[in-house]
Amino acid sequence: MPIHWRSSHIAVLTAKWEADDERVIYHPASNETHYLNPLGALVLDTLAAAPAGITLDDLLQTIASALADDTIAPADLRQYLTGLLARFAELGLATAVATA
Amino acid sequence: MLLNALRQPHGLPKLSLEDWDLLLRVARRSRLLGRIAADLSQQNLLDQLPPSVVNHLQAAQQLVSHRQTVLSWELNRLRWALADLNPPLILLKGIAYHHAQLPPARGRNFVDVDLLVPPAWIAPVEQRLLERGWVQPKLSRYDDHYYRAWMHEIPPLRHRERDNEVDLHHNIVPLTTRQPPEAALLLSNSVAVADLSAEAPPLPVRILAPTDMVLHSLAHLWFDAQPDEGLRLRDLVDAADLMRYFGHEAEFWTQLPQRAVALHLERPLFYGLRYAQRLLYLSAPAATCRAVAKFAPSYPVLRVMDILVPLALMPEHPDFPRHRAALARWLLYIRAHWLRMPPLLTLRHLLYKSWARLVQQVKPKTPV
Amino acid sequence: MILANLTTADLTERLTSRAGLALGIGPFHLRLTSDVAAITPLLQQLYRHYPLTDQVIRDFHLHLSGSALHRRWLRPQVQLLVDGRAPFEPLPAAHHLPALEWGMNWCIALRCNHLLMLHAAVVARGEHAIVLPAWPGHGKSTLCAALIHSGWRLLSDEFGLVRPADGALLPLPRLIPIKNAAVTALQTFAPSAEFGPTFYATRKGDLAHLCPPGESIAQSDQIARPRWLIFPRWQAGAALNLQPVSPTQAFLRVATNAFNYETLGGSAFTLVTEMVRSCNCYSLTYSALPAAVAALETLT
C-alpha cells in the first residue's frame, strides 16, 4: 500500500505576478496566507495536477526533471520534499492517503 | 432596550438615532453586538439602518466570522493530530453550537475551543498534542496545581503557530463543586454530529445531549460570574436559544428536570428558567415549570436573587454606572466562587490572587 | 464650523457637559468629555481644524479623567475611559494628550473591522496616493511629515484605511507623533511645521505632536487611490537608496504591516493583491529628508 499525496480539495486563492516564480496563496479554510518559494509553488502545482494523488517517488521524478539541475543530489531533494510534504500536511494544504 | 433588541430584532429599524448610539455601546459591552448584527442581516434589515450603524454591525460580524473560521480550523487540526489515537471527543459551548449549526451560534463570538474527553483520555490526548506542536504555558506551581487538583480542565493548550486557546475538560463544572456531575453520564448520552465539509479529518466528534447542553450553559452562567462583568447575559441568551430550539420536541421538556437531578444541576436550572422566562420571554410547558419549581431556594434567598440577578445581568448605562449594580456583580461573583469550592479554598484562592495583583502593581503594564 | 470657532468658555463648557465635544475625525465621529483642564489649550492648538459634528451616532465615546482628590498630591494620574470603562493602566497626569491619542488608536484598531487597516502613512496629490507601510522606528512618520510640507495632502500617518468595496483609501488625518530627535530635522526642513509641547519619557520616548494641516482635514471626504507603495527605512548616515521591490515581497510587507489583515480573511488577501497590482513598489533607505523627498518627487 504505497502512500499517495494529494492536495486538499479546498480551493485556494493565488496571487502571482508574471515576473515572479514565487507566490502567495490564501487558504480559506484556515484563514492563513502562505508564501511559497519557487520550489514550494512547483510542488503544490504538481500535487494539484494529480487529483488521484502521487507517490513520493513520482513527485521526486517530476520535480527533478522540471528543475533540470544536476547540482542537486537526489537524496537531498528527497529529504527536502519529505519535509515539505509533512509541512503541507500540518498546514492542511495536502493529505497523505493510503491506497491499495 | 438591549432586551427588546434581542427579543424583537425586527423592530430595530424604527429605533431613533439616539437609542442606536446607546444600544451599540451596551450591546458591545455585553458581547451581543455580533448577535444583533446576525439577527438583522438574517432578516435582511441591514439596508434599512443608518450607514454609521451598519459599519459597526459589519465590523462586529466580520470579527465573529473570523473567529468562527479560525476556531473551526483549530478543531480540524486537533482532529487531524488525534485521528489515529481515536479518543472520544465531545465539543462544548461555542464550538459545539457552531459545528452543529445550533441557533446560539449566530453572531456569537467565541474565544477558545472547549473539548470534553473521558478522564482516562486526558493524559494521552494532552501528550499527543504536545508532540504535535501544541504548547502549554509555564504556570506558577500554584496555578498548575489549582488547575489539576480543583478544576474541571487542564491548563490551556495553544498551537505554537496559532493563537487559539484549546481547553481540554474532563467535567463540565469544577471538581470542587460539592456535587459535580458524573462525567460518564455526560459521555454516554452524547450524540454524534455529521460533518458538513468533505475535507474533514477522519476522527468523528460528538456533542452533549440537548438537555445536558442546556444544563451546561446554565452551569456556566452561574459558576463563571466575573467581579467586574457580573453574570453574562450572553450565557442566558445561549441557554434560552437552546431551550427554544430543542423545546420543539415535547420530550425535551419532560427530560430536562430529570436530567438536572441526575447531574446535580437543579438550582442552575431553576434560576436559568426563571430569568429566561422573565427577561427573554421564553415560554415553557406548565408541567416543566412545576417540576423545576421544586428546585427553588428558600423564599428570602429567592427575594434577594430576584433583586441581584437582573442587576448583574443587565449592562448599565456607560456614562452613569450605579453602585448597587457593582455590588450585585461582586456578591454574585463571591457566590459563584462559593458554589465552586469549599469556603476554605475560596479564601485561599482569593487571597493568593489579590496578593499576586499587589505584586503586579509594582510593574504596571503599559496600555495597548 | 470647526473647533477654532469655539471660544475657550464654549469649549470648556462642551468638554465638561454631558453632551461632550463632538468632532469629525476622518470617517469617524468622536464624543469627548474631560475633567482634565490642561487638555483644553492643546485641543485649541492641535485640534483646531477639526469640524464640529452634529452626528447623533458617535463611533467613540471617550472621557479623559484626572485623579480623584485624595490622589492629587501623591502621584497625579490621568486615565482614558472608553464607554465608561478603563481599558488601559493610568498614565502620569502630564501625559494627557498621548493618553487621548493612544486611546483613539486602540478604539480604531479594535472596532473598525469594516475596513482594512494598514499600518501605513498615506499621502496624496489629487487622487494618486503614496502608501508608506513600515514598522515602528523606521522613520515613516518623519517622512510623512516632510511630504505634507512639500505639497502632499495628509490622508493618514498611522492607519491606512482601505475600503473593501472598491479598495479606495479613506483619509484619517490625525496628529502625527514625532520623536524628539526628528523634531529638529523637521523644523529645519519645514520651518512652518507646527508642533505641540514635548511629552517627556512616555512609553514611546520623548515626543511632540505635529498639527495636521487644515487643508488636509478640510478634504477628509475625498478618497484617493494607491499608486505607489514605498517601504521607508531611516538609517543614520545612510546614502539615499531607492530600489524596486518584487510584487510578492511587497505583498508580504503590506500584509504583515496591517492591523487586521487576518480578521478580514479572503477579502484582505484580494485587497492587498489589487493594491500591489496597481502600485509601483520601492524600498527607500534614507538619512536626509530633502534627498528622500526629492527622490519621491522624481519617482512620481
Query: Under an 8 Å CB criterion, which residues of C touch A?
Result: 246-248, 251-252, 255, 261-262, 265-266, 269-270, 273, 276-277
If phi > 0 it is left, if psi is from -120 to 50 it is alpha, else beta; for residue B133 that is: left
Residue of B66, B73, B162, B197 for testing the chain A interface, max A β-carbons within 10 Å? B73
Residues of A in contact with C266 (CB under 8 A): 13, 26, 28
The minimum CA-CA distance between C60 and chain B, rounded to whole Å, is 9
Task: Tell me the chain B residues in contact with residue C203 when contact means C-beta distances shorter than 8 Å.
Answer: 366-367
Q: What is the mean pLDDT of residues B97-124?
A: 93
pLDDT of residue B130: 95
More confident residue, A36 or C23: C23
Question: CB–CB of B58 and C58 under 8 A?
Answer: no
Percent of chain C with pLDDT over 70: 97
Q: Judge whether B51 is closer than 8 Å to chain C, CB to CB.
A: no
pLDDT for residue B230? 64
Distance CA C163, CA C122 (A): 14
Instruction: Judge: A20–C276 Cβ closer than 8 Å, yes or no.
Output: no
Q: Which residues of B touch C53 (CB under 8 A)?
A: none
A62 touches chain B (CB under 8 A): no
Per-residue pLDDT at B366 exceeds 50: no
Give the position of cell 488608536. Answer: C105
How far away is chain B from the Cα of A89, in angstroms, using its nearest Cα?
Answer: 9
**Is residue B187 a part of any domain in this protein?**
no
pLDDT higher than 80, residue B355: no
A92 near B CB under 8 A: yes
In a mutational test of the C interface, the residue from A10, A17, A21, A23 whose CB has the highest number of chain C CBs within 10 Å is: A17
pLDDT of B346 > 60? The answer is no
* B34 touches C at CB < 8 Å: no
Query: CA of B199 to nearest chain A CA: how many angstroms apart?
Result: 7
Close Cβ partners of B182 (under 8 Å, ≥ 6 residues apart): B263
CB-based contact, A96 to chain C, within 8 Å: no
Per-residue model confidence (pLDDT) at position A9: 59
**B125 part of a folded domain:** no
Mean pLDDT of chain B: 85
Give the residue on A whose Cα is nearest the Cα of C248. A23
Which subunits sit against C, judged by 3+ Cβ pairs under 8 A? A, B
User: What is the model's pLDDT at position C84?
Assistant: 85
C-alpha triplet C132, C133, C137: angle, nearest 5°: 100
Whether residue B152 lies inside any domain: the answer is no
Taking an 8 Å cut-off on Cβ atoms, the answer to whether B25 and C55 are in contact is: no
Nearest to C88 among B59, B319, B368 (CB): B368
More confident residue, C22 or C77: C22
Assess if residue B4 is contained within a domain. Answer: no
Q: How far apart are CA B291 and CA B275, in angstroms?
A: 16
Q: What is the ipTM of this complex?
A: 0.89
Phi/psi for A57 (5° steps) reads: -60, -45
In tens, the pLDDT along C224-242 reads: 999 999 999 999 999 999 9
Indicate the pTM of the whole model: 0.88
The answer to whether B329 contacts chain C (CB < 8 Å) is no
Mean pLDDT estimate for chain C: 93
**What Å distances lie between residue A77 and A67, A81, B190, C76, CA to CA?**
11, 6, 48, 65
Residue predicted with more confidence, B332 or B137: B137
pLDDT over threshold 60, residue B357? no
Selecting from B66, B77, B199 the residue whose C-beta is nearest the C-beta of A31 gives B66
User: How many CB pairs (< 8 A) connect B and C?
Assistant: 74
Half-sphere exposure (Cβ direction) of C205: Cα atoms closer than 13 Å: 10
Task: Enumerate neighbours of A (3 or more CB pairs within 8 A).
Answer: B, C
Side-chain-side CA neighbours of B156 within 13 Å: the count stands at 12
Burial call C233-248: b when 16+ CB within 10 Å, e when fewer: bbeeeeeeeeeebebb
Confidence at B127, pLDDT banded by 50, 70, 90 = very high
Rounded to whole angstroms, the Cα distance separating B181 from B273 reads 20
Q: Is A21 on the interface with C (CB under 8 A)?
A: no
User: In chain C, what residues touch B63 (CB-CB under 8 Å)?
Assistant: 113, 263
C-alpha distances in Å from residue B342, one per residue of B172, B174, B179, B262: 18, 11, 11, 22
Largest separation between any pair of C-alpha atoms in chain B: 58
Average pLDDT over every residue of C50-66: 94
Query: Would you state the pLDDT for residue C120?
Result: 95
Kindly state whether B194 is in contact with chain C, defined as any CB-CB distance less than 8 angstroms: no
**Measured between beta carbons, which residues in chain C are less than 8 angstroms from residue A19?**
246-247
Query: Is residue B14 domain-resident?
Result: no
Residues B266, B211 contacting (CB under 8 angstroms): no
Q: Which chain A residue has the Cα nearest residue B132?
A: A90
Interface test with A, best of C248, C267, C272, C276 (most A CBs within 10 A): C248
Average pLDDT over residues C60-70: 80
**Mean pLDDT per 10-residue section of chain A, whose length is 100 residues:** 72 69 87 89 89 91 86 88 92 80
Do B18 and C56 lie within an 8 Å CB cutoff?
yes
Tell me, yes or no, if A35 comes closer than 8 A to chain C by beta carbon: yes
Chain B contact present for A29, CB below 8 A: yes
For chain B, how many structural domains are there in total?
Answer: 1
Decide if B354 is inside a domain: yes
Q: Are strands A3-7 and A54-55 parallel, antiparallel or unpaired?
A: antiparallel
Per-residue pLDDT of C123-177, as tens digits, reads: 999 999 999 998 888 889 999 999 999 999 999 999 999 999 999 999 999 999 9
Whether B59 sits inside 8 A of C114 (CB atoms) is yes
Question: Which residues are within 8 A (CB) of B292 and not within 5 positions of it... i.e. 6 or more apart?
Answer: B256, B257, B260, B269, B270, B273
- In chain C, what is the greatest distance between 2 CA atoms, to the nearest angstrom? 60
> Using one digit for the tens of pLDDT, what is the confidence trace for B29-75?
888 999 999 999 999 999 999 999 999 999 999 999 999 999 999 99
Nearest chain A alpha carbon to C256: A33
Q: Which of B73, B80, B197 sits opposite A31 (nearest CB)?
A: B73
pLDDT reported for residue B362? 38
Query: What is the chain A residue with the closest CA to B78?
Result: A90
Task: Say if the Cβ atoms of A20 and C246 lie within 8 Å.
Answer: yes
The per-residue pLDDT for range B143-179, each reduced to its tens digit, is 777 777 777 888 889 999 888 999 999 988 776 666 7
Residues of A in contact with B66 (CB under 8 A): 31
Question: What pLDDT was estimated at residue C177?
Answer: 95
| A-B contacts at Cβ under 8 angstroms | 26
CA of C192: how far to CAs of B204, C195, C201, C211, in Å? 68, 10, 26, 11
Of C84, C89, C263, the CB nearest to B62: C263
pLDDT of B311? 83
pLDDT of residue A1: 52
Residue C68 pLDDT? 62
Domain that holds residue B300: 209-360
Query: Chain A contacts of B198, Cβ < 8 Å?
Result: 9
Nearest to C103 by CA among C154, C156, C174, C153: C174
Nearest residue, CB atoms, B318 vs list C84, C106, C263: C84
Is pLDDT above 90 for B180? Answer: no
pLDDT in tens, B287-330: 999 999 999 988 888 888 888 888 888 777 777 776 667 766 76
Q: Find out whether C92 and C78 touch, Cβ atoms under 8 Å.
A: yes
How many Cβ pairs within 8 Å bridge chains A and C? 41
Cβ contacts of B326 on chain C, cutoff 8 Å: none
CA A44 to chain C, closest CA, distance in angstroms equals 17
Residue B186, in any domain of the structure: no
Confidence of residue B348 (pLDDT cuts 50, 70, 90): very low
Give domain status of residue B348, yes or no: yes
Residue C278 with chain A: CB contacts under 8 Å: none
